[in-house]
Amino acid sequence: MARRANSQRGLSMKSKLIMIAIMFVIINMFLSKNKKAFSLLELSIVIVIIGVLLVGVIGSTGMIGLQLVQILQNHPNIERVVCFSESHHGKRLSQLYPAFRGVLDQTLFQPEKSLICECDYLFIASPHGTSYSYVSIAMEYSIKVINLTSDFRFNDPLLYRYIFKKEHELIDALSLSKVVIPELNGQDIKLCPPKQISVLGCTSSAAILSLYPLLNSGLINGSSIIIDAKTSSSGSGKNTNSAQTHW
């Protein structure tokens, strides 16, 4: 936990990254036959270097997670993306998606507390109903969460029960979450950053973004709106039952 206690950044960042790169080359010479061992050692070195911004992605092999990893690894303010997967840990992303060989070669790690707690930010793109334990770890270590599941989109536990027909498993964290649509209330998180950002789904986002300018300008009456939305199989993730998503 020394890294989290010493969170000051910006001290000779370029020099540290150069040193890390040199170490990687040397280590890879000796461990090239053991890809998993090299990847674990690579991650452990990055974790203990002060100043490296670590962003974790849970569910990185899913449809949303895969796109998210591509965006994050090219972000100028992010130094390292750690990919987590419950079902494919130990493999590389490019093994699952050969088209990304040479582009997304990150090793997938089991989303264990000992690794999650070292992240500065945590994106959760796992299936709906699975983010509670990850959010609990993030809250314990003051890690900022961007949650793409539906688990924290409602602050009212009664409304959550009404919509999803089950009880919420982490009620204490509901009040710490804020639904954010960057185009509409993105400035709010700059003024008062929440501990968790909850991201809306594709259908609701499309409906809100298309209707907002019309409602805001008074061009339409909000009481007469009917949203007839269509989605393909990808709307429910890659592990859905084909009998429920194909007609």
The residues that are catalytic are: 202
Q: Measured between alpha carbons, how far is residue 128 from residues 119, 193, 201 in Å?
A: 22, 24, 11
> DSSP string spanning 135-192?
HHHHHHTT-EEEE-SSTTS-S-HHHHHHHHSS--S-GGGGGGEEE--HHHHHHHHHHS
Of 107, 110, 137, the closest CA to residue 122 belongs to 137
**DSSP strands (E only) in 73-124:** 80-84, 108-109, 121-124
